[in-house]
Amino acid sequence: MIRIVTLSEFPPDVIDFVTRRLHAAYGMGCELEGEGEIPADALDDEQSAYDAVKVVDEMDDDVTLYADDKIVYLTNEPLTAPPGPMGRGPVDGYAQYGGGKALVTAHGLPDKGLPLEVGLAKRAAHYVGHLWDLHHCFDPRCAMHPGWSPGFATYPEVALCLFDREKSERKIKLGSS
């Protein structure tokens, strides 16, 4: 089951669209679990964006996760991540690889030229994929394609490529067993 927790206000039809798309992409149940608050101390040093890793690690919620449960936090706030060898780049979410929690932001979606619900659903599908150990995909149609590449807006459908779909199905079967 994929459980969604909103950390900002979203119209109900947007959440409805996101849950439907996630259900369709992974063949798992998906429901809105409730609302939460983003930890205030997760702001980065410049106080301009939230550190995505800190937000997920410090999130205090009482959602119970079972074997194959995944939890996705949705927010509108800008996010950042610890600098890596390439410095800082665009960050639209964070996921614990092979873990249970992911964070997705709708920040910056209007610039992509996609409707809010489509962009958010595509990002959510991307980060849920990371929770199932999926890596980035070179196919621009696939939801696992990096969000900053031109393929994100060119192909608005929220779908996985054949390889990633099969891999996620295998992982989901193992998880549920």
Partner 1 sequence: MATKTHEPVIGDGSLHIGDRVVYPNQGICRITGVETKQIAGQNWEVVTLSREEDGATVMVPKGKVMGIGLRKVADVAAIERVFDELAIPNTDPQLDWKVRHRENADRMSGGGLFGTVEVLKGLHALSRVRPLPQKERELYDNARHLLVGEIAAAMNIPLHVAEDNLDYALWPPPGMTRKGRPLPPATLGPPSPTRPAAEDEDLGLEDEELGGTEEAVAPAANVTVVEEEQPAPPAAHKAAADKEKSKSPHRPPKPALAKKARPAAAKKAAPAKKAAARKSAPAAKKAIPKKPAGKAKAKGKR
Q: Which residues of this chain interact with partner 1, rule CB under 8 A?
A: 17, 20-21, 24-25, 27, 53, 81-82, 84-87, 89-91, 94-98, 113-115, 117-118, 130, 135-136, 138-142, 146, 148-151, 153-163, 165-167
Coil, strand or helix at 154: helix
User: Counting beta carbons within 10 angstroms of the beta carbon of residue 79, is it exposed (0 to 12), middle (13 to 18) or buried (19 or more)?
Assistant: buried
The distance of closest approach from Cβ of residue 93 to partner 1 in the complex, given in angstroms and rounded to an integer, is: 9
Question: How far is the CA of 62 from the CAs of 1, 5, 34, 65, 71, in angstroms?
Answer: 16, 11, 10, 9, 11
The distance of closest approach from Cβ of residue 44 to partner 1 in the complex, given in angstroms and rounded to an integer, is: 14
Cβ-based nearer residue to partner 1, 66 or 87: 87
The distance of closest approach from Cβ of residue 33 to partner 1 in the complex, given in angstroms and rounded to an integer, is: 22
Cβ-based nearer residue to partner 1, 1 or 148: 148
d(CA 56, CA 60): 9
> How is 104-120 classified by DSSP, letter by letter?
EE-TTHHHHTS-HHHHH
Cβ-based nearer residue to partner 1, 34 or 44: 44
Cβ-based nearer residue to partner 1, 43 or 159: 159
The distance of closest approach from Cβ of residue 149 to partner 1 in the complex, given in angstroms and rounded to an integer, is: 5
